[in-house]
Amino acid sequence: MKLNSIEEIVFHISDDMDYNALSDKINGFHVNLIEQKLRSSDYSMEEKVAVVNQISQQLKIRERNGIIS
Protein backbone atom coordinates (compact mmCIF):
# COMPACT_ATOMS: atom_id res chain seq x y z
CA MET A 1 0.00 0.00 0.00
CA LYS A 2 1.20 3.49 -0.80
CA LEU A 3 1.87 5.94 1.96
CA ASN A 4 -1.04 8.35 2.52
CA SER A 5 -3.36 6.59 0.10
CA ILE A 6 -7.08 7.02 0.62
CA GLU A 7 -8.84 3.70 1.05
CA GLU A 8 -12.37 4.70 1.94
CA ILE A 9 -14.46 7.80 2.50
CA VAL A 10 -17.63 7.60 4.58
CA PHE A 11 -20.25 10.34 4.74
CA HIS A 12 -22.67 10.37 7.65
CA ILE A 13 -25.69 12.38 6.54
CA SER A 14 -28.33 13.66 8.93
CA ASP A 15 -31.99 14.16 8.05
CA ASP A 16 -31.63 17.95 8.07
CA MET A 17 -28.49 17.96 5.93
CA ASP A 18 -28.08 20.73 3.36
CA TYR A 19 -27.40 18.64 0.26
CA ASN A 20 -26.22 21.63 -1.77
CA ALA A 21 -23.53 22.36 0.81
CA LEU A 22 -22.53 18.69 0.85
CA SER A 23 -22.36 18.65 -2.94
CA ASP A 24 -20.13 21.75 -2.94
CA LYS A 25 -17.79 20.15 -0.38
CA ILE A 26 -17.56 16.90 -2.34
CA ASN A 27 -16.90 18.80 -5.58
CA GLY A 28 -14.19 20.83 -3.85
CA PHE A 29 -12.65 17.63 -2.48
CA HIS A 30 -12.51 16.13 -5.97
CA VAL A 31 -10.97 19.29 -7.43
CA ASN A 32 -8.28 19.30 -4.72
CA LEU A 33 -7.58 15.62 -5.27
CA ILE A 34 -7.19 16.06 -9.03
CA GLU A 35 -4.96 19.12 -8.55
CA GLN A 36 -2.69 17.21 -6.15
CA LYS A 37 -2.45 14.23 -8.49
CA LEU A 38 -1.60 16.42 -11.47
CA ARG A 39 0.97 18.46 -9.53
CA SER A 40 2.72 15.32 -8.32
CA SER A 41 2.68 13.64 -11.73
CA ASP A 42 5.42 13.69 -14.33
CA TYR A 43 2.95 14.68 -17.06
CA SER A 44 3.76 17.51 -19.42
CA MET A 45 1.48 20.55 -19.44
CA GLU A 46 -0.18 19.24 -22.62
CA GLU A 47 -0.87 15.88 -20.96
CA LYS A 48 -2.31 17.58 -17.88
CA VAL A 49 -4.64 19.63 -20.08
CA ALA A 50 -5.68 16.43 -21.87
CA VAL A 51 -6.51 14.79 -18.52
CA VAL A 52 -8.65 17.75 -17.44
CA ASN A 53 -10.38 17.83 -20.83
CA GLN A 54 -11.14 14.10 -20.61
CA ILE A 55 -12.60 14.52 -17.11
CA SER A 56 -14.75 17.38 -18.37
CA GLN A 57 -15.99 15.35 -21.35
CA GLN A 58 -16.86 12.38 -19.14
CA LEU A 59 -18.80 14.61 -16.74
CA LYS A 60 -20.76 16.14 -19.63
CA ILE A 61 -21.61 12.67 -20.98
CA ARG A 62 -22.78 11.52 -17.56
CA GLU A 63 -24.88 14.66 -17.18
CA ARG A 64 -26.51 14.15 -20.60
CA ASN A 65 -27.27 10.53 -19.71
CA GLY A 66 -28.92 11.60 -16.46
CA ILE A 67 -26.34 9.89 -14.27
CA ILE A 68 -25.45 13.19 -12.60
CA SER A 69 -27.30 16.47 -12.44
Predicted confidence (pLDDT) per residue in 10-60, tens digit: 878 788 888 888 888 888 999 999 999 999 999 999 999 999 999 999 999
Pairwise pLDDT comparison (8 vs 28), residue with the higher score:
28
pLDDT at 42: 96
Residue 13: name the closest of 27, 2, 25 by CA.
25
Q: Is the pLDDT score of 66 beyond 60?
A: yes
pLDDT at 2: 63
Q: Is the pLDDT score of 6 beyond 80?
A: no
pLDDT at 7: 80
Distance of CA 6 to the CA centre of its chain: 13
